[in-house]
Amino acid sequence: MHIHFVGIKGTGMSALAQITPLIVDAVITGSDVEHRFFTDDILERAGINVLPFDPQNVVNADLVVISAAYDDSNPEVAYAKELGIPTLTYPQFLGKLMAKKRGVSIAGTHGKTTTTAMVGKILLDCGYDPSVVVGSDVPCIGGNAHAGHGDYFIAESCEYRRHFLNYSPEHLIITNIEFDHPDYFKDLTDVIKAFNELAAKLPASGNLVIWHDEPNKSEIKTKARITTYGFSPDAEVRADNIVFDASGSTFDVFIKNNKIGRLHLCVSGNHNILNALAATALTFKLGVPVEKALKALDGFNGTKRRFERIGIKKGAVIVDDYAHHPTEIQTTLDGARRSYPGRRIRAIFQPHTYSRTEKLFYEFSRAFKDADEVVLAEIFSSAREKKAANQAISSAELAEQIQKWNKNTKYFPTLDEITNYLNQTLAEDDLVITLGAGDVYKVGQILVS
């Protein structure tokens, strides 16, 4: 069988391309733009050649898998449909692969990438050899995918356009539920409904692991067994006696008020403690001894673009984070303040999509209270958004609103101007954090290059 991936450089698509041959007997080809991404290295390691877009690439394909970034306007997609070749979107194909294994979905508005990576590392270290698909490069699992021979298939499961309803998991983590993707969801009620639809798919023999303090927890109905985690004394799996430092955090882990052990986690912030608790709770329900889970997490060294330390410039620490929702920004900056209390925190934010910036404008304006300085870049418009229809908002307007809460706020139209400004003003006690889902990470790369 010949399967061709259109847009193979996407994090999800490149992950699927790697694991597919182990689950189905297939020859893999793929195509994409010439611009180089971090997934180019991953695909090269996997021996998968990336072709430039050309309708002839699909002529001999038995199935064409299409990235969410492309539609019928792509010449390969159009020609495949003209020839009558079966096509599936990324979530449709992922759902079909998951159905051949015991599916584990990691869902939530925030934290799903890191939690997926943590679950994957625990099961890998404990000999389960799962298949893993995660939305970032994860050094400790060797990339953004692991093609395993074991029974479990662990997948980061995104709610956008209800994509995760293509999956039929046996087990599910819900890290949190907030209003996001305003270009698709009407409101928070619509988001909750989507998560509820996913939880309803779990079998009675399955497990739902959910954050104890999730405000909408009671709205989620399921036949599966429910386990909660968090900082609350009422959570089944919880953390206490937390100490933060520049290397991360150290804390005690309790299950039903029985202390199991003390974990040193090499990633910053309360949110990553919660991610670790979620991974521990789920793998405990799958039969992994908690002591072994904690040992595996002790070696977890993070994922790309999640509080990723880029380097040092003039004594300043340069960090990059994918945070693009107000809650993510606030949580990331809180983690930075806890781990680096003596440094001047300089937040470099590039808003992602006009629709999100407009719908969450007020929330964004109050998300930077832990920053000593805020620098805004222009809004990054995604491929799925029509910029012309969303001109009602700008980064300059957002900067004005942020100034009401954080007076030291600046706006620059280009990343080059931001880089030049930082080069001229860096001090050795600075912590510079680039924030956003677009290309703001380039600022940090240029600074340390």
What are the tens digits of pLDDT across the range 339-375? 999 999 999 999 999 999 999 999 999 999 999 999 9
Rounded to an integer, what distance in angstroms lies between the CA atom of residue 52 and that of residue 78? 16
Distance CA 222, CA 229 (A): 17
Q: CA–CA separation, 368 vs 349, rounded Å?
A: 10
Query: Which CATH number is correct for 308-448, 3.40.50.1100, 3.90.190.20, 3.20.20.150, 3.40.50.12160?
Result: 3.90.190.20
Give residue 446's pLDDT band: very low, low, confident or very high (50, 70, 90): very high
Q: What is the mean pLDDT of residues 233-240?
A: 98
Question: What is the pTM for the complete model shown?
Answer: 0.90
Q: Where are the domains of the chain?
A: 2-88, 101-298, 308-448
- Count other Cβ atoms within 10 Å, centred on residue 312: 12
pLDDT at 136: 87
Task: Compute, in degrees rounded to 10, the torsion defined by CA atoms 407, 413, 418, 419.
Answer: 180
How deeply is 226 buried, as exposed, middle or buried, from its count of CB atoms within 10 A (0-12, 13-18, 19+)?
A: middle
Q: Is the dihedral of CA 34, 37, 40, 43 positive or negative?
A: negative
Which of 3.40.50.720, 3.40.50.300, 1.10.287.70, 3.90.1150.10 would CATH assign to domain 2-88? 3.40.50.720
> Of 443, 381, 390, whose CA–CA distance to 417 is shortest?
443
- Top CATH class of 101-298 equals alpha beta
What is the distance between the alpha carbons of residues 280 and 264, in angstroms, rounded to a whole number? 14
Q: Which residues touch 306 (CB under 8 Å, ≥6 apart)?
A: 113, 114, 136, 267, 321, 322
Return mean pLDDT, the chain: 95
Confidence label for 387 from pLDDT (cuts 50, 70 and 90)? very low
Confidence at residue 411, expressed as pLDDT on a 0 to 100 scale: 97
Give the pLDDT confidence of 116-135 residue by residue, as tens digits: 999 999 999 999 999 999 98
Task: Please choose, from the candidates 76, 51, 72, the residue with its C-alpha nearest in 3D space to the C-alpha of residue 61.
Answer: 76
Q: In what order do the strands lie in the sheet with 248-255?
A: 143-146, 131-138, 152-156, 102-107, 171-174, 207-211, 225-230, 237-245, 248-255, 258-265
pLDDT at 62: 97
The rounded distance, in Å, linking the Cα atoms of 449 and 437 is: 21
Per mean pLDDT, which of 21-25, 145-149, 227-231 is the most reliable? Answer: 227-231
